[in-house]
Amino acid sequence: MRSIYLDNAASTKVYPEVADLMTTTMLADYANPSAKHKMGVEAEAYYREARETIANTLKCKEKEIIFTSGGTESNNTAFMGTCFGMERQGKHIITSAIEHPAVYKPLEFLEQHGFSLTVLPVDEKGHISLTDLENAIREDTILVSIMTVNNEMGAVQDIAAIGQCIKAKNPKTLFHTDAIQAYGKMELRPKRDMVDLLSVSGHKLHGPKGIGFLYVDEKVKLSPLMLGGGHQNGLRSGTLNIPGIAGLGLAAKLSYSHFKEKQEMLYHLKDFFIDELEKIEGVTVHSEKGEASAPHIVSAAFQGVKAEVLLHALEERGIYVSSGSACSSNHPGISGTLKAIGLSHGDLDSTLRFSFSQYTEKRDLEECISVLKEELPVLRKFFKA
């Protein structure tokens, strides 16, 4: 039976070239990049090349890229590293109701330690209101964190408009965006969009797990969370993860190679899949067609069937999807994102996420639709939600 992997928002297949490069860094160029000898210098070259590559994709300076262990560390570093250093200026933070746990959990931690948190509502498509944002920004607002692409339904926020709104109301307020579902699938320009901090994770763009980066505008004063040998200009101590860094750098390069063609292919697949889903009785698609939502994520409710039941029915047929954020899979419960967009109780409990990559083929989606048409009537009859 052929496997059809439609859970790319959770993790992606590593590019073969990335795996090969990482093998080289572990078996041949394995020296400590801080060593002063030739092998150390050769290992450090991977770090410098990856930082240059990533900086080029964002049109920023190389020194503004800090490598981390992934998106969660990037988000935590952005929040703790700025907020505790800006307490004298203010203690007010703004975020949205549909952020990833790697954003709202550390912000809840800050709230428990004396900071004030405003959570902006979203509309039925997952978008915040710029009017709500403007009204929420105060003189003591030190940070706004709004994700670029929602990880569950693919809603795309107008980051440029948000950045402009923030800086017009309070130029001292920092703007962070969780771009973990956006980087590699969309063009991101933090300088242009007035973004001060931006988080990315490698395994979402055909890179390795356990590596990510944080973009920090050179004007931002960031206090390090990791103290030690003073690596990465003192902002993140610890021996550089050269296999991960090299792999992430190459994954970034490959993701943005022939980028428009890849992006158009993903939009075509998404729109096709939405059209076919909407032809099935009792299916409600939460994601929008076209560029109003991310090119690789489709969220849909299948009335009359519990999400977990349908997920495992598809798994039995070799089709792998998600019932929400994989990062929250060990803590089952109703999605905060789906609650925030106002879904009915039935839709909350019957929603699946399908997510694609450049390895996804149209025939994969055609087969998925065919299986759904076969399985849904049976499941609705015997496993009614």
Residue in 206, 306, 305, 195 with CA at minimum distance from that of residue 252: 206
CB 301 within 8 A of CB 343: yes
Q: Considering 60, 83, 165, 327, which one is annotated as catalytic?
A: 327
Torsion of CA 363, 369, 371, 377, to 10 degrees: -170
Residue 327 annotated as catalytic: yes
Residue in 29, 7, 11 with CA at minimum distance from that of residue 20: 29
| Residue carrying the six token digits 């490959």 | 254
Positions of E strands within the chain: 4-5, 65-68, 92-96, 116-120, 141-145, 174-178, 197-201, 212-216, 283-285, 297-302, 319-320, 351-355
The catalytic residue positions are 327
